[in-house]
Amino acid sequence: MIRLGNLILDHGLILAPLAGYTDYAMRYLCRREGAELTVSEMVSSRALCYGDKKTPSLACIRPEEAPCAVQIFGSEPHFMAEAAKIVACGMAGGVAPAAIDINMGCPVKKIVSAGDGCALMKDPSLVFDIVKAVVGATSLPVTVKIRAGWDEAHKNAVEVAKAAEAAGASLVAVHGRTRTQMYSGKADYAVIAAVKDALSVPVVGNGDVCSAADALHLKRETGCDGVMIGRGAVGNPFLFAEIRAALAGEDYVPPSPRERMETALLQVRLAIEVQGEECAVLASRKQFADYAGGLRGAAALRAAAHRATCYEELSLAAEAFLSALAE
């Protein structure tokens, strides 16, 4: 169990923030399937402070998807503090977030080259200053997401996590890969275990969780308080229901191919509500076919999805896939 302000997470199942993926549609479906907390795509603190018109929609939380945390990124404490104040009451007509999450784990070149994301782990004193500034700017719980370190020679997750805790962080999530690993290789669960041993606040493990067995293995190996799932939930929000069943010792019945496709199409419709059809379809194509992962004909569905320009074409592609699967 994790207590985060007034929020209690019985199983500690959290959807990780994924730029370009964890929009309203994906967050809603993961919540429906059992995620106890979701996290928005990362939001630039500078963009928020300078009044960028497109940024508020990234931080908008609809009532039906709550609780959701908003993740902000940046390397300047005053901008990060101001950004926390801006999002704390809700953005673009949405409800207030359950927490403010600070991104210290993004490995993408354009982020770290600006000194943001995982680059912050090179300077634990700056980590402390940023977290302290954000904690002082809001009454919401402040969480921090980090990696194992910058590279194999600099795995300083424990030092960074202790700095974040000392500055007032309520929870630390640790991805077991270094920045130089990006998403290759395996997550180092020993690092997550070391962070758990060093902190008194809840620690959430992240990395290589694509099944209930993976989640149980992560908890067993690290003693972590919760599990954060990112890429494993892309095209598979059902993973949360699978893990919850495993944690409860209950049988799990996976979704049928038709249920998968119905959920895939629902995700597109939810995205259309927010973005409009053209933008939503283009953005959804990259994960639409992931719903058919492991099934015969998935490659053909992916090809058809990547050609689609409207919702009707995605719907027809799904029906063609299901018909071929039934033959």
CA 7 remoteness from chain centre: 18
Tell me the residue ranges of DSSP E strands in the chain: 2-4, 7-9, 13-15, 38-39, 43-44, 68-73, 100-104, 142-149, 171-178, 203-206, 226-229
Instruction: Fill in the amino acid letter for 105.
Output: G
List CB contacts of 83: < 8 A, sequence separation 6 or more.
Answer: 43, 45, 48, 49, 72, 74
Of 68, 106, 118, 224, which one is the catalytic site residue? 106
Exposed, middle or buried, 149 (CB in 10 Å: 0-12/13-18/19+)?
buried
Q: Which residues 6+ apart lie within 8 Å of 19 measured at CB?
A: 41, 42, 106, 108
Task: Please state, as a whole number, how many other Cβ atoms lie within 10 Å of the Cβ of residue 275.
Answer: 18
Place of tokens 């945390």: 69
Helices (H), 34-88: 45-49, 55-58, 77-88
Spatial CA neighbour of 27 closest among 64, 2, 57: 64
How far apart are the C-alpha atoms of 226 and 203, rounded to whole Å?
A: 7
Rounded to whole angstroms, the Cα distance separating 49 from 42 reads 15
106 flagged as catalytic: yes
Question: What is the distance of C-alpha 23 from the center of its chain?
Answer: 10
- Six-digit token string for 82: 């101001």
Burial class (CB in 10 A: 0-12, 13-18, 19+), 233: buried
Helix (H, G, I), strand (E, B), or coil: what is residue 320? helix
Catalytic positions, written as ranges: 106
